[in-house]
Structure 1
Amino acid sequence: MENTKLFEVAWEVCNQVGGIYTVIRSKVPSVIKKWGNENYFLIGPYFAEQAAAHFDPATDFSTPIGKAVLEMQSRGFEVYYGQWIVSGRPNVILFNPYSIYDKLGEIKYYLFQDYNIAIPDGDELLDKVAAFGFQVKEFFHYLCGSDFCNDNIIAHFHEWMAGLPIPGIRKSNLNIKTVFTTHATLLGRYLAMNDQEFYSHLPFYNWEEEANKFNVAPIANIERASAHGAHVFTTVSEVTARECTHLLGRTPDLILPNGLNIERFEATHEVQNQHVQVKKKIHEFVMGHFFQSYSFDLDKTLYFFTSGRYEYQNKGYDLTLEALARLNWKMQQAGTDMTVVSFFITKRPFYSFNPEVLQSKAQIEDVGRVVEEIQRQVGDRLYKEITMISGQYEFPDLRALVDDYLRLKLRRNVQSWKTQNLPKVVTHQLVDDAKDEILNFLRTSNLVNNRHDKVKIVYHPDFIATTNPLFKMDYTQFVRGCHLGIFPSMYEPWGYTPLECLASGLPSITSNLAGFGDYVVNNVTDHDNKGMFIIDRTDGNFNRAAEELANMLFEFVNLSRRDRIALRYRCEEAAMHFDWSNLGKFYDEAYKLVSER
């Protein structure tokens, strides 16, 4: 590694969009530890609003990379050199795609002439990707114009948005060893969303016809050119590898499973304490949301959740809903005194928060403030009463210590808060409520937060953040406060959500069609005992999978509190298997292989 320079190129370097951002960012400290800052560089796009929070400009341009950046700047390229403000502070080179839009016509012409990749006009993302790819290719040309490329240079490209320079590097015969990792094929995602038997039909698709059908031919061509042009082609799971073989026409050389920087999540013996603290905040939301209509015992309430991109079938929302409906029936039949509140956290178009939900939240906060006033008043007066007692002590009448004004105020606040209406299922006003698949299932199954329902639903069509007035916490905190994550995906190249649960000490359920689930089944022994529950979705039988999931949920509901706490600690301990200090070895294998080739 002393004689090797490693460049990782990704659209999500200093640009938070999705899961690849987590892959790159979480991996940085372990890569820096192996390679050192002087041998490791990241390349990404420059967007001012993102860079303001993520990028720290350099002041020293005396290094070969700094000189190449100055050379490109002198020739009119808008390129930035500095450090990414994350753990490890890696060196980054960022290119502004908009700065060469005047050359887009020429760039697209040569992409079609040289590689038969046709980029249409008017597609904003494709225009940015084409401009970015051209700049990255030129940057490597500048580097190799000096003695820099006499050393061993590895360039690792992540996903199609970053892969476009690969054909150009090969055509120019630059002395750069290329690795390409696809984290999911876009065509596979579209096909899975529209075909319940996607994996059965995978060998029989005509990729070109399907790409034209879904209007993603340019992206499919970029993916194929990147995969076929790279010296080493990799993906993140065996599940996605099969997809690559049939849709990209090349079987990956290696599998690079995704990890996490587990240290960021570690709480050691504080796991249960943190869970209890955050759970109190979720209790506050649940009380405001449900208790205005009816109440249930919060000490006997479990919080389940599912989250991610809104892909109703791909993410397994359809299976989760069916299993929850069956769980509701099973719990009622068993006469259990437990309650389950299940959260659906995803992103959907909405106008605003539901005003009734916000009003209920505000009203219960008003009730809380009056209660605090009464507490202070009773406390002060009780203390005075006690200190002024002479003779035999008698406990004072607490009711006499409260002013009539505060009693009346509390009564009015409680009466205005209480309602005969059922608690709302969805917390926001959706743009197209009537066509929402989650809501339509809940209406059809009558799982609408009836008093007698043992399973309650909260559908939150926005991601959770500290600025959210309903929860007032970030997503990772919310996860710690829950009891179980449910992610039975039908299409999921990897799936970070169950891994994030594991690192937070939270058990979760996923499927063996998700890359993470497939990896667990084949590499983690006794995974159920470590909080990694996997359902089998390979036979395509929805009814059987729903019953299996419902039974898993029912078994979890019946666990004792002591068993749930023990499982929580085993989860956090098992998470170390997925730390980059362990999974980074797969990347090392890829770099060894590409060096040999």
Structure 2
Amino acid sequence: MQPPASTPEIVAPDALLVEVAWEVCNQVGGIYTVIRSKVPATVQGWDERYCLIGPYFPQQAQGEFEAFDDYQLQLLNDPFAGAVRQMRQMGYDVCIGTWLITGRPRVVLINPFQAYGQLGQIKTDLWLRHGIPTPDNDDLLHQVEAFGHLVKIFMKVLTDEVVPPQRVIAHFHEWMTGVAIPDMRREQVPAHIVFTTHATLLGRYLAMNDPNFYDHLMQVDWAAEAVHFNIETAVRIERAAAHGSHVFTTVSELTVRECIYLLDRIPDCVLPNGLNIERFVALHEFQNLHKQYKDKIHEFVMAHFFQSYSFDLDKTIYMFTSGRYEYHNKGFDLTLEALARLNYRLQQSGLEGQVVMFFITKRPFTSINPLVLQSRAILDEVHETCNAIERQVGERLMYAAASSTDHRLPDLSAMVDDYWKLRYRRTLQSWKTSQLPSVITHNLIDDQKDDILNFLRRSNMINHQHDRVKIVYHPDFVSPTSPLFGMEYGQFVRGCHLGIFPSYYEPWGYTPLECVARGVPAITSDLSGFGDYVMQHVQDHDDKGIFVVQRQEKNFDEAAEELTNMLWDFVLLSRRERIAQRNRVESSSELFDWKNLRQYYDRAYELALERS
């Protein structure tokens, strides 16, 4: 299947588009990236006929949302502003303004807590009208249901503001906004409704707990399993939204099966996710950026490993994986098994070089490991001492060169003061140790039950000097404020050589796509939406540095061997070959730009207008 032919820049000129998502100006998870990155391309097609709706949480919105004041609001002459004015007259707390991102779209934020006084009636109506029960002690569900009630009211007011022949398309993302849909249909609100599930809620839970999830999918009793995992309310909301929408969509062919068996509706459209590639484009600079950020990673690696033993950084390859901590779903288990096999192969081969593998995820921890932090601090001290010696020697060498008639290089050590010699020696003595480098940078709250650590203990991959694959498990976000890395996640990705994401359950998968956008080769799987899309639409994807592990038809051992072979082949590449590969990866990133993939969304909107 090829992408649809290009569509005109102006889409459905007689329609308004309202996109409703829990993560508008509210960064919680992956949907935030989807919505935010898609905005520039959507604004290009819809311009001022486009508006987003999200929940108003002041702390989250701060720095992202700029509200219009009363005077600005009165000057606005469009249905969105008119609906906000009308709701304010009705006594509702509603803000309208601009999301401070590329494209600067119009945004309406609604405070869900203002409807808490009506929660009893809202919950009763959901049960009596739609069979959706709500427990009394779940505040997230209360927020979601209150927000859905208020969105329904806003959509009723907005559609009253619209003057025919203009129509309203309402696109809801995920179950957290789907509460509004069944009541909108019941009250016949004249909006054309699109609902997108990015990952069925029940599917994610089942995949985490069933190693044969895909084989058992057809036999799942959704109602019983929803009760079993204590997610019955959310699952019933998701089902009601799927069945109440005029057009039901999901993000990949893989999740179509989930929707059929867990939601009992065949999706009308598949809407693949993209990125705003312009944000990542570095043109001829991206190779220089790779070196710049690789040098920053070198600093971390020297601090972490060189106090125990050293190795040649020019012959070291940096690999990484990242994402939500779902040991099985994200393929951490498969990645570790392949790394253990790669470690053995490299030890037996006699080849030079090392692999340093980073696991970047989020886990509960008490603190950074004091020894890891101390090592980094002492190395910084070594660096400062070396810089001071370099400056001193440089000045004195220059003077000696200019004043001497002897053309031989003088004794450089004689140009260093005893103070700096002593400081250099003492700093190194306090830094060097016989202890092995830690495989984890932080102290976890319960490391005895951590699957990654337990695998490393069982396999004895604990950063011995003879290990050719070294492990750095970093259970926190990479950020510029981190005393260990001191860089942004995107910079860290650019500094690595390969991203590894062989997921078992991944409705789409942004992490490999973000690698590709930065010119970094990536491994994905045919059980991720992104990998499935690559196999269908990207010819010679291996040659372009996008590798897909076959997991649908292979057992764990076979998939691990295939991944090991991919890693082995990558390690065997010369530096020149890796540079050429990064060039090919970067040039293919345009395939995943929202400017191209937005067309799938516009087709769904046209279908919604036709159906209702």
TM-score range, shorter-chain basis?
A: over 0.9
Matches within 5 A, 1:157-236: 157-236=172-251
Q: Residues 382 and 279 from structure 1, CA distance in 2 versus in 1: closer, same or farther, beyond 3 angstroms?
A: same
CA distance in 2, matches of 1:263, 1:190: 35
Secondary structure in 2 matching 1:543:
helix
Matches within 5 A, 1:92-171: 92-148=107-163, 151-171=166-186
- Give the aligned partner of residue 281 of structure 1: 296
Residue from 359, 373, 384 that aligns with 1:358: 373
One-letter code aligned to 2:566: M
2:387 maps to 1:372: yes
- Give the aligned partner of residue 11 of structure 1: 22
TM-score by length of 1: 0.98
Conserved 8 A contact 1:149-1:176:
no
CA distance in 1, matches of 2:398, 2:536: 65
Deviation larger for 494-503 or 66-75:
66-75
CA distance in 1, matches of 2:162, 2:589: 43
- Give the aligned partner of residue 411 of structure 1: 425
Deviation larger for 514-523 or 53-62:
53-62
Matches within 5 A, 1:418-433: 418-433=432-447
- Cα distance, 1:169 vs structure 2: 1.1
- Give the superposed CA RMSD: 1.0
- Cα distance, 1:150 vs structure 2: 5.1
One-letter code aligned to 1:511: S
- Cα distance, 1:149 vs structure 2: 6.4
CA distance in 1, matches of 2:576, 2:247: 49
Secondary structure in 1 matching 2:62:
helix
Matches within 5 A, 1:222-371: 222-371=237-386
Residue from 22, 34, 39 that aligns with 2:49: 39
- Give the aligned partner of residue 61 of structure 2: 51
- Cα distance, 1:50 vs structure 2: 1.3
One-letter code aligned to 2:436: L
- Cα distance, 1:392 vs structure 2: 4.3
- Cα distance, 1:346 vs structure 2: 0.3
Secondary structure in 2 matching 1:469:
coil
2:410 maps to 1:399: no
CA distance in 2, matches of 1:517, 1:77: 45
CA distance in 2, matches of 1:160, 1:150: 30
- Give the aligned partner of residue 498 of structure 2: 484
Conserved 8 A contact 2:83-2:161:
no
Conserved 8 A contact 2:14-2:165:
no
Residue from 561, 564, 578 that aligns with 1:564: 578
Structure 2: any 5+ residue segments left out of the alignment?
A: 1-11
- Cα distance, 1:268 vs structure 2: 1.4
Conserved 8 A contact 1:271-1:568:
no
Secondary structure in 1 matching 2:506:
coil
- Cα distance, 1:74 vs structure 2: 2.5
CA distance in 2, matches of 1:177, 1:246: 25
Secondary structure in 1 matching 2:320:
strand
Conserved 8 A contact 2:51-2:80:
no
Q: Residues 97 and 378 from structure 1, CA distance in 2 versus in 1: closer, same or farther, beyond 3 angstroms?
A: same
CA distance in 2, matches of 1:327, 1:360: 28
- Cα distance, 1:72 vs structure 2: 1.4
Number of residue-to-residue matches in the alignment:
595
CA distance in 2, matches of 1:477, 1:393: 45
One-letter code aligned to 1:175: P
> 1:336-358 CA distances to partner (integer Å, 9 max, x unpaired)?
11100000000000001000000
Secondary structure in 2 matching 1:122:
coil
- Cα distance, 1:385 vs structure 2: 1.6
One-letter code aligned to 1:596: E
One-letter code aligned to 2:604: A
Conserved 8 A contact 1:197-1:540:
no
Conserved 8 A contact 2:159-2:168:
no
Q: Which runs of 4+ in 1 moved over 6 A?
A: none
- Cα distance, 1:113 vs structure 2: 1.2
CA distance in 1, matches of 2:538, 2:426: 57
Secondary structure in 2 matching 1:163:
coil
Deviation larger for 347-356 or 59-68:
59-68
CA distance in 1, matches of 2:528, 2:17: 30
- Give the aligned partner of residue 6 of structure 2: none
Secondary structure in 2 matching 1:425:
coil
- Give the aligned partner of residue 545 of structure 1: 559
CA distance in 2, matches of 1:149, 1:56: 31
Conserved 8 A contact 1:143-1:149:
no
- Cα distance, 1:124 vs structure 2: 1.4
CA distance in 2, matches of 1:229, 1:292: 61
Deviation larger for 343-352 or 160-169:
160-169
2:32 maps to 1:28: no
- Give the aligned partner of residue 80 of structure 1: 95
Secondary structure in 1 matching 2:409:
coil
Deviation larger for 172-181 or 55-64:
55-64
> 1:124-168 CA distances to partner (integer Å, 9 max, x unpaired)?
111110011001000011123344465221000000001111111
One-letter code aligned to 2:35: I
Residue from 522, 533, 542 that aligns with 1:519: 533
One-letter code aligned to 1:248: L
CA distance in 2, matches of 1:265, 1:570: 15
Secondary structure in 2 matching 1:42:
strand
Structure 1: any 5+ residue segments left out of the alignment?
A: none
- Cα distance, 1:539 vs structure 2: 2.7
CA distance in 1, matches of 2:358, 2:409: 46
Secondary structure in 1 matching 2:577:
helix
- Cα distance, 1:590 vs structure 2: 0.4
Secondary structure in 1 matching 2:63:
helix
